[in-house]
């Protein structure tokens, strides 16, 4: 029986023979003169590493370390951030000018942006109500016309995890129609909500992860795709020849070591404490109409006049995210949780604002 991935992959992608980079071809030898690299390293500044050779075409040691961290046996590939994963999945499974994706707004804007850039239509199935819940039947119906469904859990910018039961219903209802991509960029802040283990049961599930959030490695540019072999077969065709710079790979392996994971979990627990303290402080302001529950490193607020508060904080040098451009988030501001010290500064600014308004 053919997989849903092979049904969806465009003919052009199926025919594609991956670019045969020197590392992909591999081989054995003593004097390597096959990649037009400089044979001897040049050291600039402080860097003591050798960067003259191209890196591994698929960093297997990173993929293995990430599988261990996620406790999954499904294939994993490392890419340059979750944003590259989104773009890669759309380019692999959708044909410009023909295919469609589904997104559940309000959500992370890159799904639609990447689709727009490739002339791929985006179907919107809005999240429902004040708790921003999935419209499962709406998503299943829209998926009949689409190749990819993007779900963001926990969702940016609303902060809530999507119900695992609802995701399972969608996986069941779309098995013959679409791949369901669950973006778990913020999952470390509520790890129990991960659906990565379900890939073994649902080959139409793809999970995207990143080291940019809880791991604190946004500048390193490292994200992951976790998916069934039948999906990876096509993703691997389009993946850039050298997806991970050596300088990043070294840091990523340190982060995924036992000590690295311990550090990440300690920092995450501290951040959650700061977040919960900050949220408890927000309750005192009557200009804040709603504080949305957060399973992330940010909190979304609906205020009596979102844009005024945003502008006031900006004047105090505190940069937050104005969400008012989205009709579903009128008067909403998204505030990232920083250090305890920074959040105390925000509370002091809110006190000032409160006394003036």
Ligand X SMILES: Cc1ncc(COP(=O)(O)O)c(C=O)c1O
Looking at beta carbons only, is 139 or 222 nearer to ligand X? Answer: 222
Looking at beta carbons only, is 118 or 347 nearer to ligand X? Answer: 118
Cβ of residue 83: shortest distance to ligand X, in angstroms? 3
Looking at beta carbons only, is 83 or 188 nearer to ligand X? Answer: 83
Cβ of residue 151: shortest distance to ligand X, in angstroms? 10
Gap between the Cα atoms of 229 and 4, Å rounded: 12
Q: For residue 124, give the nearest of 350, 330, 327, 352 by alpha carbon.
A: 327
Gap between the Cα atoms of 237 and 313, Å rounded: 47
Q: Report yes or no: 80 and 47 within 8 Å, Cβ to Cβ.
A: no
Residue labelled with tokens 């039947």: 137
**Residues in the site for ligand X, rule: CB under 6 A?**
81-83, 108, 152, 156, 183, 185, 210, 212, 218, 223
Cβ of residue 308: shortest distance to ligand X, in angstroms? 25
Report which residue's Cβ sits closest to ligand X.
81
Residue labelled with tokens 């579903």: 328
Gap between the Cα atoms of 184 and 153, Å rounded: 5
Cβ of residue 294: shortest distance to ligand X, in angstroms? 13
Looking at beta carbons only, is 215 or 285 nearer to ligand X? Answer: 215
Cβ of residue 156: shortest distance to ligand X, in angstroms? 4
Q: For residue 312, give the nearest of 303, 325, 111 by alpha carbon.
A: 303
53 CB-contact burial (10 Å; exposed 0-12 / middle 13-18 / buried 19+): middle
Cβ of residue 291: shortest distance to ligand X, in angstroms? 20
Looking at beta carbons only, is 93 or 189 nearer to ligand X? Answer: 189
Cβ of residue 112: shortest distance to ligand X, in angstroms? 13
Gap between the Cα atoms of 341 and 347, Å rounded: 10
Gap between the Cα atoms of 253 and 256, Å rounded: 5
Gap between the Cα atoms of 146 and 151, Å rounded: 14
Residue labelled with tokens 């990876």: 232
Q: Report yes or no: 275 and 291 within 8 Å, Cβ to Cβ.
A: no
Cβ of residue 166: shortest distance to ligand X, in angstroms? 18
**Tokens representing 105?**
């707004």
Looking at beta carbons only, is 59 or 223 nearer to ligand X? Answer: 223
Looking at beta carbons only, is 81 or 306 nearer to ligand X? Answer: 81
Looking at beta carbons only, is 200 or 218 nearer to ligand X? Answer: 218
Q: For residue 23, give the nearest of 12, 35, 36, 39 by alpha carbon.
A: 35
């Amino acid at each position: 029986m053919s997989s849903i991935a092979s049904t969806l992959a465009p003919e052009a992608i199926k025919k594609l023979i991956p670019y045969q980079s020197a590392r992909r071809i591999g081989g054995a030898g003593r004097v390597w003169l096959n990649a037009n690299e400089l044979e001897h390293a040049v050291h600039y500044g402080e860097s003591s590493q050798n960067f003259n050779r191209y890196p591994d075409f698929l960093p297997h040691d990173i993929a293995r370390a990430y599988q261990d961290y996620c406790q999954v046996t499904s294939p994993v590939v490392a890419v340059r951030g979750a944003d590259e994963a989104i773009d890669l999945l759309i380019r692999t499974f959708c044909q410009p000018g023909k295919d469609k994706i589904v997104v559940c707004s309000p959500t992370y804007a890159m799904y639609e942006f990447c689709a727009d850039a490739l002339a791929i239509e985006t179907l919107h199935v809005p999240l429902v109500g004040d708790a921003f819940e999935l419209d499962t039947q709406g998503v299943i119906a829209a998926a009949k016309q689409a190749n990819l469904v993007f779900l963001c859990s926990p969702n940016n910018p609303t902060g809530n995890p999507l119900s695992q039961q609802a995701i399972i219903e969608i996986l069941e209802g779309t098995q013959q129609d679409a791949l369901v991509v669950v973006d778990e960029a913020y999952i470390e802040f509520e790890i129990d909500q991960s659906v990565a283990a379900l890939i073994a049961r649902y080959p139409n599930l793809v999970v995207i992860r990143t080291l940019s959030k809880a791991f604190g490695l946004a500048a390193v540019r490292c994200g992951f795709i976790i998916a069934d072999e039948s999906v990876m077969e096509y993703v691997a065709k389009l993946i850039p020849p050298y997806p991970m710079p050596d300088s990043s790979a070294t840091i990523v392996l340190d982060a995924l070591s036992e000590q690295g994971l311990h550090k990440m979990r300690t920092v995450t627990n501290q951040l959650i404490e700061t977040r919960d303290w900050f949220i408890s402080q927000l309750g005192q302001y009557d200009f804040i109409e709603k504080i949305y529950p957060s399973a992330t490193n940010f909190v979304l607020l609906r205020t009596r006049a979102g844009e005024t508060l945003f502008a006031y904080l900006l004047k105090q040098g505190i940069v937050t995210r104005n969400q008012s451009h989205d009709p579903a988030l009128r008067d909403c501001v998204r505030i990232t949780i920083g250090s305890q010290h920074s959040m105390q500064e925000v509370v002091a600014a809110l006190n000032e604002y409160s006394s003036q308004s």
